[in-house]
Amino acid sequence: MSIATQTASSFRPWSEKPSARANRRKIRARIGGLHCSLCTGTIEKALGRLPGVDKVAVSLTHEQALVEYDPAVARPEQFLQTLRDIGYTISDPRKVRPFEEEERELVREARRFVLAVVLSVAAIPIIADPTVGWIGFLPALVCLSLGVFVFFVLRSTGLWIAIASASGLVVMSLTLLYLNLQGYLTQTAPWLTGALALLLVFGVGRHILYMAIQALRRGILNQHVLLEIGAFAGIAGGVIGLIVDRPGYPTAPFFAVSVMVGTYHIFSEWLSLIVKTRSSQAVKRLLDLQPETARVVRDDKEIELPIQEVSAGELVRVRPGERIPADGIVFSGHSGVDQSLITGEAIPVEKSEGDLVIGGSINGTGALLVEITAVGEGSFLSQVIRHVEDARALKPGILHLVDRVLLVYTPTVLVVAALAVIGWFVGSWLSSGHADIERAVFAGLSVLVMGYPCAVGISAPLSIVRGAGEAAEHGILMRTGEAFQGFRLVEQIVLDKTGTLTEGRPLMHEIEAVRSGGEHELLALAAAAEASSEHPLAQAVVAAAFERGVTPPDVDSFEALPGKGVIARLSSREVIVGNPRFLADRGVDLGQLRSRVEALEAAGRTVIGVAREGRVLGIIALGDTLRPDAIEAIAALRNAGLKAILVTGDNERAAQWVAREVGIDEMHAGVLPQDKAAIVRRLQANARVAMVGDGINDAPALMQADVGIAMGGGTDIAIESADIIILSNRLDALPVAREISSRSYGKMVQNVTLAFLFNGIGIPIAATGLIHPVWAMVAMAVSVTAIFFNSLWGTPRLFFDAIRSVGQPIVNIPAPQVA
């Protein structure tokens, strides 16, 4: 049951519907071309300015926008035009990007990186200058490290291809170095590096140029803009060098710096794409991608059809244990149905002729013939999915750390560059009477070249690689930026009850035999009578018997009365197992056990009585139990300063019991799926909220929360909606995940500091106009190396695993269904 299986019913690239408020409508669209977290603010501003627009919400992670507007004043076409004008693309929000497309993008980005490295490795030996001393070796080190990366990028294509390419690079650079040292390149070096720089900026990296231009049109100064400023400053410096043609002017190094910054930027783009794709593929592996089918009765024959082809009014056969394919009314048959998708409770609800059943719920022991009443858009499940999609755009975003820094940094670099130009111009004019334009321009360009902190692009992805690796060791899958940058900021944590705080399935709590020592016999008989039933209560009885080493005896005959119990014959004696009232109806006197039954039922337990030949043998109490680590995990979260809140679809009594057991003060019981998201939204007014859940009914709230956390054993929709997935199904992973979040954020801060540090030192020096552009390359090499060491010290394996783990064919999983 994946969101991907929803088909688009309209050709317009957005979905539209009436809003909850009177005279307002809402549209939702998928937006392409979001290159940084500053984009969300830009879109919200651009659309918010239009007349008739009440509310705009944009999610970066999910690339969705939700607009609420007054249809009397505004038209949706107008919004889309506004977005297109500033360079965004619009696509249907109901279509999910297929796996193949992600793979293609990854291959394209890797190819760009390899091409960029070829250009860099050509440029560096050309400008190598043995007269500058030890600094001359640093570019060689850069060459070497780039060569190693190319080897690893191509490694998945084939070992020999990788070896051949890497050695090809070595041969090329050594040849160029030889020619350079022999003095053959003195004349041609500026022209060669110039060509390489143009090839990189306008050829291999033209997509970055395009993104930078788009960002400028939107008035955003992001990484791409900063890169192009640096690259163009390098090209400008080189072109000026070619024109003035003065000995000692660093024409070739200026061009070479353009090549280098471009290469590093492409490398960081590729790295962040790997991080993104890896997490989305990891989630796809968790999902059950089997297409949903239904057994439709047509002309007295049962045929299996995809759900999309079933229409309202048709009869569908649902066998025991199967999922009910769509909303409908029971036409004939009798069964218990697990409706946990509404309430989260896995205890079956009895359904017979004329009762409503909901698509997606799971049929129990009986076969049902269901008349379908609603499919597709009108069904309960698609309503839940719509709530998830709404929440997707309303999910609060976070400005990424790098973008926050750039907000200040980029203007500063531009101002310093301008000051350097003006300073030299005015200063030289004042001191000597004539303005030294040449020196002024050189200083300005040096600042711009020095200004691009090329390690900044790798600082976030590398800290995520490290954090994700640490998380994986604890059985936690952290998939989005929210997971890493957001979880540490969360102050409130909303927990679902069933399946999250509790096991979500009944277990035996107590057993009471009339005759002392008769527990084994009691359990054996109960298990024998229930052995063939798939009902969760029956399962619990059989499991309890099995755990105690009791083998249920064989049953001669057996009759099940849904909702009541079972009558079985064992060794030609009649055994009744079931509801205590059912036993009483069959003339069994419970005796002094009656008060015990009442007490247990008042405590929220389900009680089963067992009688043989009309005489009661004892009772068994079953119920959902807390996960063993629930109390400790909640205490740890409270110690970390989080406020825990319980939200459940179950009744007040059960909720209260669990809340008291684990020590939660605030709770909401009997909550419907869409209201869970509303509760989260209300809490978000106070502080950031994390939501922990597992069921379909939790999905909208998981999506709405600042950080959604799904249990790994949860339903597909819950997993798809979450930012963090706890594969180990252990609650004590929650405080661990929070620690990892703050630790990897700390790493990110360190990395970003390192990235800006070297350039920060370099900029004032460059402003003096006395510095060779090769120093920009030195700063780059040092900061990139420092960040690699800082992020992966002791665990380089994590990085290589990350590179290797994407783009591999997924084994044993059928291809996703094309909706």
CB 729 → other proteins: shortest distance, Å?
13
Instruction: Return all residues near 217 (Cβ < 8 A) that are at least 6 apart.
Output: 86, 87
Closest alpha carbon to 641 in 577, 688, 593: 688
Segment 263 to 302, residues that bind other proteins, using CB under 8 A: none
Note whether 13 and 80 are within 8 A (CB).
yes
CB 550 → other proteins: shortest distance, Å?
6
CA count, 13 A, side-chain hemisphere, 459:
26
CB 314 → other proteins: shortest distance, Å?
31
Q: How far apart are CA 99 and CA 615, in angstroms?
A: 62
Question: Judged by CB, which is closer to other proteins: 545, or 777?
Answer: 545
Q: How far apart are CA 67 and CA 48, in angstroms?
A: 9
CB 568 → other proteins: shortest distance, Å?
12
- Name residue 244's amino acid: V
Q: How far apart are CA 224 and CA 11, in angstroms?
A: 34
Note whether 264 and 113 are within 8 A (CB).
no
Question: Judged by CB, which is closer to other proteins: 570, or 717?
Answer: 570
CA distances, 697 to each of 237, 399, 493 (Å): 60, 29, 17
Closest alpha carbon to 8 in 79, 92, 89, 75: 92
Question: Judged by CB, which is closer to other proteins: 290, or 551?
Answer: 551
Q: How far apart are CA 801 and CA 548, in angstroms?
A: 44
Strand pairing category for 689-693 and 492-496: parallel
Question: Judged by CB, which is closer to other proteins: 421, or 528?
Answer: 528
Stretch that binds other proteins, among 407-415, 552-560, 664-672, 681-689 (CB under 8 A): 552-560
Question: Judged by CB, which is closer to other proteins: 68, or 534?
Answer: 534
CB 527 → other proteins: shortest distance, Å?
8
DSSP 8-state secondary structure symbol assigned to residue 11: S
φ and ψ of 358, to 5 deg: -115, 135
Question: Judged by CB, which is closer to other proteins: 168, or 518?
Answer: 518
Applying CB under 8 A, does 586 fall inside the site for other proteins? Answer: no
DSSP bridge partners of 65: 29, 58
Strand pairing category for 707-711 and 689-693: parallel
CB 546 → other proteins: shortest distance, Å?
5
Instruction: Return all residues near 386 (Cβ < 8 A) that are at least 6 apart.
Output: none
Kindly give the residue spans of alpha helices, DSSP state H, lying in 548-698: 580-585, 593-602, 630-639, 652-662, 673-683
**Three-state secondary structure along 690-739?**
EEEECCHHHHHHHHHCCEEEEECCCCHHHHHHCCEEECCCCCCHHHHHHH
CB 553 → other proteins: shortest distance, Å?
7
CB 733 → other proteins: shortest distance, Å?
18
CA distances, 467 to each of 15, 62, 275, 554, 743 (Å): 36, 21, 11, 54, 8
- Token readout for 260 is 């280098």
Catalytic residue among 496, 650, 706, 732: 496
- Token readout for 806 is 């994407």
Question: Judged by CB, which is closer to other proteins: 189, or 542?
Answer: 542
CB 526 → other proteins: shortest distance, Å?
12
Question: Judged by CB, which is closer to other proteins: 728, or 790?
Answer: 728
Identified binder of other proteins from the candidate list 168, 553, 563, 713, rule CB under 8 A: 553
Applying CB under 8 A, does 465 fall inside the site for other proteins? Answer: no
Show the CA angle centred on residue 97, arms to residues 79 and 691, nearest 5°. 80
Applying CB under 8 A, does 554 fall inside the site for other proteins? Answer: yes
CA distances, 38 to each of 34, 159, 216, 314, 541 (Å): 9, 41, 12, 50, 56
Strand pairing category for 492-496 and 643-647: parallel
DSSP 8-state secondary structure symbol assigned to residue 3: G
Identified binder of other proteins from the candidate list 157, 175, 186, 551, rule CB under 8 A: 551
Instruction: Return all residues near 266 (Cβ < 8 A) that are at least 6 apart.
Output: 109, 112, 113, 116, 204, 205, 208
The answer to whether 245 is a known catalytic residue is no
Applying CB under 8 A, does 552 fall inside the site for other proteins? Answer: yes
* Binding residues with other proteins: total (CB under 8 A): 17
Note whether 496 and 721 are within 8 A (CB).
no
Question: Judged by CB, which is closer to other proteins: 539, or 753?
Answer: 539
Applying CB under 8 A, does 247 fall inside the site for other proteins? Answer: no
Segment 491 to 550, residues that bind other proteins, using CB under 8 A: 520-521, 524, 527-528, 531, 542-543, 546-550
DSSP H or E run through 666: strand 666-668
Give the CA radius of gyration of the chain: 33
Q: How far apart are CA 192 and CA 802, in angstroms?
A: 36
CB 538 → other proteins: shortest distance, Å?
11
Show the CA angle centred on residue 395, arms to residues 390 and 401, nearest 5°. 150
Note whether 443 and 769 are within 8 A (CB).
yes
Question: Judged by CB, which is closer to other proteins: 300, or 554?
Answer: 554
Question: Judged by CB, which is closer to other proteins: 75, or 515?
Answer: 515
Helix or strand or coil: residue 323? strand
Closest alpha carbon to 452 in 268, 207, 200: 268
Question: Judged by CB, which is closer to other proteins: 175, or 551?
Answer: 551
Per-residue contact flags (x/-) with other proteins for residues 624 to 663, judged by CB under 8 A: ----------------------------------------
Question: Judged by CB, which is closer to other proteins: 93, or 552?
Answer: 552
CB 570 → other proteins: shortest distance, Å?
11
Active site residues: 496
Return residues touching other proteins (CB under 8 A): 520-521, 524, 527-528, 531, 542-543, 546-554
